[in-house]
Structure 1
Amino acid sequence: MNDMDCPLADTHCHLDLMPEETLSFLSSGALSGYPAPSSALSPSPSPLKTPETPTRLIFVPGVTGPAVFRHANQSARISAGLPDNDLPGLWRIFQMTGVHPGYLTDFNEQDFRSRTAVLHPFMIGEIGLDRRYEDRFAADFQEMCLRIQLAAARDYGIPVSLHVVGRHGAALRILREFPGLRGILHGFTGSKDLALEYLRSGFLLGIGPLILNPEARKLNSAVTALAPENLVTETDVPFMSYYDNGIRKAATPEILPLIIRKISELQGRSFEDTAAVVFRNALSLIPQIPET
């Protein structure tokens, strides 16, 4: 298998924040948007009927609310279903809504709930706790906002994309208040023990460009001890970089095969098997597309 022919999923990509000139990797037929609007969210949305299971996925997190990617030549809003030309090789783009812990100014539960009900996102994120912003948003306020957004995900039966920096103990404690919730711990960089705590809470671990850094020994050790069934891939562009033969470069979704190959090497599995498993993990988080 050619690396770029494998199924690929970037489960955390700020596509809406990328400069236009960096979007060349997208097919002109890429599809983008929220699922079809509805008057109310349902815990069990009906699957869309698709001619093919897509082989390219991008999840776009919201930071201050809804993610908005509407590049005129490279996206189209999903309406009642998928057009007949939704063929393998195109990127399917799914947009979340969520408020990042560093952007909680004017956060309001009623506004968040109303917006979520209108947009009907497939996932709520990125949301969480971050010690770096506690001078602006106190820890207890961040926790309150996280609970509100987790409750919305629980009520609507959708997963979450979780951002946690320096507050893992508090985040895990709060997740225990929401049994059955699932999602992704975005940007995992921790130990095997921390990984197991999130796995027990029902979360997959987002593995990104840091794994390509030769100095990321703790992350490499944790991934070595896990199985691909526990992982999804991500890039967090345009905020992340990676190392290519010692040269630091800006990450793009085109480096996903490098991340998959590194995971496969650490776990002693084939590239093809690892690619298939981590893609299936991402696909399972999209209520509108059944696994095949």
Structure 2
Amino acid sequence: MTLIDTHCHLDVAAFDPDRHAVIARARALGVLGIVVPAIHAEGWPGLLELCAGEDDLYPALGLHPVFLNRHKDSDITALERAIAAHRPLAVGEIGLDDAVVGLDRAAQRPLLRAQLAVAREANLPVLLHVRKAHDAMLEILQRVRVPGGIVHAFNGSLQQAQRYLELGFRLGFGGMLTFPRSTRLRRLAAQLPSTAIVLETDAPDMTVAAHRGERNSPEYLPQILAALAEVREESVEQLAAITSRNARTVLGLAAMPD
């Protein structure tokens, strides 16, 4: 089986002690594609260097909404230049987070719209971070159309999911799916069409049930696949093929082997 982790922050300090060993273990388990999204401009050079050294790591460049205090006005121009110079797989991680107390909601909106405009101009998909803001996000996406993308760690309603699908997006499911108490999320994963779903870890965060309290890792992606197979009552082999195909399609990874 070939699996694709569509959201994994392999560049962050949590992986400094054993990054390449983690990648090797993930590969041995069939994780043969890992998308590495940025969170702030300061991290772009290291992220690009990491991905350039590994054939199966794919960079995304963007400005995460939670890190507003680290972004500068000039970062949008820098993003345009970095995309022109390096042609990443996607623009991300970008989005809206209305769950963090004290985070400036008003400042997030223009930052998001500016990055969506950059993605549209570059004809790149986007990786979206959305917490307690799906309706607001969908309204913005209706106005600033982009070439689809992935709603990372999707936790909205079935109706919101359907609206994202109409706009060309896929929905990312990760470690929370492995917790039996995540009944609403597991029910949603069972209800969606299989063509809507991609897999992710969001490592080092949002780990699987078997490693609760520990650092998350792309090597745990097969456990997420197993949870998806359980709730959908389908085979892991079938879902591995479908979710990887979904990821390749939405992210333009057609050349990647099955």
TM bucket, shorter chain: 0.7 to 0.9
Change (3 A) 1:273 1:243: same
1:118 alignment partner, one of 85, 88, 102:
85
> Which position in structure 1 is the counterpart of 2:215?
250
Change (3 A) 1:201 1:67: farther
Q: In the TM superposition, what is the alpha-carbon distance from 1:206 to its structure 2 partner?
A: 0.5
- Aligned ranges 1:1-292 → 2 under 5 Å: 6-17=1-12, 18-23=14-19, 24-27=21-24, 56-65=32-41, 66=44, 68-69=46-47, 77=52, 92-104=56-68, 105-108=71-74, 109-133=76-100, 135-137=102-104, 139-179=105-145, 181-244=147-210, 248-287=213-252, 289-290=254-255
Give me the CA root mean square deviation. Answer: 2.6
Change (3 A) 1:288 1:168: closer
Give me the whole-angstrom Cα distance separating, in 2, the residues matched to 1:132 and 1:214: 23
Q: In the TM superposition, what is the alpha-carbon distance from 1:134 to its structure 2 partner?
A: 6.8
Moved more, 115-124 or 231-240: 115-124
Q: In the TM superposition, what is the alpha-carbon distance from 1:77 to its structure 2 partner?
A: 2.4
Change (3 A) 1:121 1:134: farther
The runs of 5 or more residues in structure 2 that have no matched partner are none
Change (3 A) 1:113 1:224: same
Change (3 A) 1:98 1:134: farther
Q: In the TM superposition, what is the alpha-carbon distance from 1:168 to its structure 2 partner?
A: 1.1
SS in structure 2 at match of 1:57: strand
Change (3 A) 1:218 1:136: closer
1:138-192, Cα deviation, whole Å (9 max, x unpaired): x232111111111111111110000011111110000101335300000112332
- Counterpart of 2:61, as a letter, is T
- Residues 68 and 95 of structure 1 are in contact (CA less than 8 Å); yes or no, is this contact kept in structure 2? no
Change (3 A) 1:270 1:282: same
- Residues 178 and 227 of structure 2 are in contact (CA less than 8 Å); yes or no, is this contact kept in structure 1? yes
SS in structure 2 at match of 1:162: strand
- Residues 10 and 58 of structure 1 are in contact (CA less than 8 Å); yes or no, is this contact kept in structure 2? yes
SS in structure 2 at match of 1:68: helix
Q: In the TM superposition, what is the alpha-carbon distance from 1:251 to its structure 2 partner?
A: 2.0
Greater Rg, structure 1 or structure 2? 1
- Residues 119 and 146 of structure 2 are in contact (CA less than 8 Å); yes or no, is this contact kept in structure 1? no
TM-score scaled by length of structure 2: 0.86
- Counterpart of 1:60, as a letter, is V
Moved more, 191-200 or 95-104: 191-200
Give me the whole-angstrom Cα distance separating, in 2, the residues matched to 1:210 and 1:97: 25
Change (3 A) 1:253 1:67: farther
1:197-218, Cα deviation, whole Å (9 max, x unpaired): 2212211001000001111111
Q: Indicate the percent of aligned positions where both proteins have the same amino acid.
A: 31
Q: In the TM superposition, what is the alpha-carbon distance from 1:247 to its structure 2 partner?
A: 5.5
- Residues 62 and 125 of structure 1 are in contact (CA less than 8 Å); yes or no, is this contact kept in structure 2? yes
Change (3 A) 1:67 1:242: farther
- Residues 123 and 159 of structure 1 are in contact (CA less than 8 Å); yes or no, is this contact kept in structure 2? yes
- Residues 61 and 67 of structure 1 are in contact (CA less than 8 Å); yes or no, is this contact kept in structure 2? no
- Counterpart of 1:234, as a letter, is E
- Counterpart of 1:217, as a letter, is T
Greater fraction helix:
2
Change (3 A) 1:251 1:271: same
